[in-house]
Amino acid sequence: MTFHFAHNNFNVTDLDTSLTFYKEALGLVEVRRKEASDGSFILVFLGDGSSKHQLELTWLRNWEKGTYNLGDNEFHLAFETDSMEQAHAKHHEMGCICYENEGMGIYFIADPDGYWIEIIPEKK
């Protein structure tokens, strides 16, 4: 028996804003979408075009709490890039860098709902 990563989920408060962010910041594109027949939720799966792993964004119509409780942001996704310098410049321009660890050569960006995403150099 084997298991393979399929997707991770982030709940979002504004689906269009999140889709725009993930396209601009990380180049993720919509792979598929599922909408509840009663309009209560929308699931959008994003892909990077090179791996099977996807990010599922979930929008809930009746979410009344405003924001999601993300704890201490100790959980996160990580993305490798083949150009840390270009990626850092792009994310700096977008104003989404929320933490940098220069000693480790990594940094984190925050999405519109406050989820942290680690940016790491490609392993060679």
Q: Which of 114, 27, 98 is nearest to 106 (CA)?
A: 98
113, containing H or E segment: none
Structure confidence at residue 124 (pLDDT): 73
Per domain, the residue ranges of the chain are 7-61+73-121
- The whole-model pTM stands at 0.91
| 41: Cα separation from own chain's centroid | 18
Model pLDDT, residue 67: 73
C-alpha 23/C-alpha 26 separation (Å) is 6
Q: Which residues contact 114 (CB under 8 A, 6 or more apart)?
A: 67, 68, 70, 73
d(CA 19, CA 76): 18
- pLDDT for residue 69 is more than 90: no
Q: What pLDDT, in 10s, does the model give residues 28-67?
A: 999 999 999 999 999 999 999 999 999 999 999 988 777 7
* The pLDDT of residue 25 is above 90: yes
107 vs 9: CA distance, rounded Å: 21
Beta partners for 12?
59
Fold entry, domain 7-61+73-121: 2,3-Dihydroxybiphenyl 1,2-Dioxygenase; domain 1 (3.10.180)
* pLDDT digit string, tens, across residues 71-93: 776 778 999 999 999 999 999 99
pLDDT of residue 73: 67
Mean pLDDT, residues 18-37 taken together: 98
